[in-house]
């Protein structure tokens, strides 16, 4: 009978360990990898984000327009992935506190900022390059990037 209880206890510990791993540890690790991806993308494209886009070139230069659209779509994708990865983590507000992840309000703001950046890369907006730069800095701050 002792062997039976030992086996049941072992299976129980293994099952609980797998639940914790699959429900919290792996999604948090994926989210942290997404944070790094967002920071890398924003820093790599910072020159494009800061500079003003020549929207009049869209009609003459199809390659330029296509590159701006691809860049824009990549920011829409990152925005959607931020929301999706947050929703995968059960009890996100508690887990974010323990794992030092951004809170839900900041994630919503960063997602909106990335959408704005993506929109103004292909559509004209007043002072869009200044606004994009400000929003880029906000997202970097939310994800914990510090300039050295």
- Is 80 a domain residue? yes
Which residue range is the domain that position 86 belongs to?
Answer: 27-142
pLDDT at residue 142, as a whole number: 95
Tokens 């967002």 -> residue: 38
- Is 18 a domain residue? no
Domain count along the chain = 1
Q: What are phi and psi of 89, to 5 degrees?
A: -85, 115
Mean pLDDT in residue range 67-88: 94
pLDDT higher than 90, residue 38: yes
pTM of the model: 0.86
pLDDT higher than 90, residue 137: yes
**99 in Cβ contact with 28 (< 8 Å):** yes
């Amino acid at each position: 009978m002792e062997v039976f209880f030992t086996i049941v206890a072992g299976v129980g510990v293994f099952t609980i360990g797998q639940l914790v791993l699959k429900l919290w540890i792996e999604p948090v690790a994926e989210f942290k990898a997404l944070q790094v991806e967002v920071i890398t993308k924003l820093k790599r494209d910072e020159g494009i984000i800061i500079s003003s886009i020549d929207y009049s070139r869209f009609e003459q230069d199809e390659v330029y327009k296509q590159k701006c659209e691809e860049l824009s779509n990549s920011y829409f994708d990152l925005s959607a992935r931020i929301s999706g990865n947050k929703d995968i983590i059960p009890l996100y507000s508690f887990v974010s506190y323990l794992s030092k992840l951004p809170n839900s309000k900041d994630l919503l703001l960063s997602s909106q900022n990335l959408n704005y950046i993506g929109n103004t890369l292909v559509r004209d907006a007043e002072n869009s390059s200044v606004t994009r730069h400000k929003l880029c800095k906000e997202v970097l701050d939310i994800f914990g990037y510090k300039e050295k």
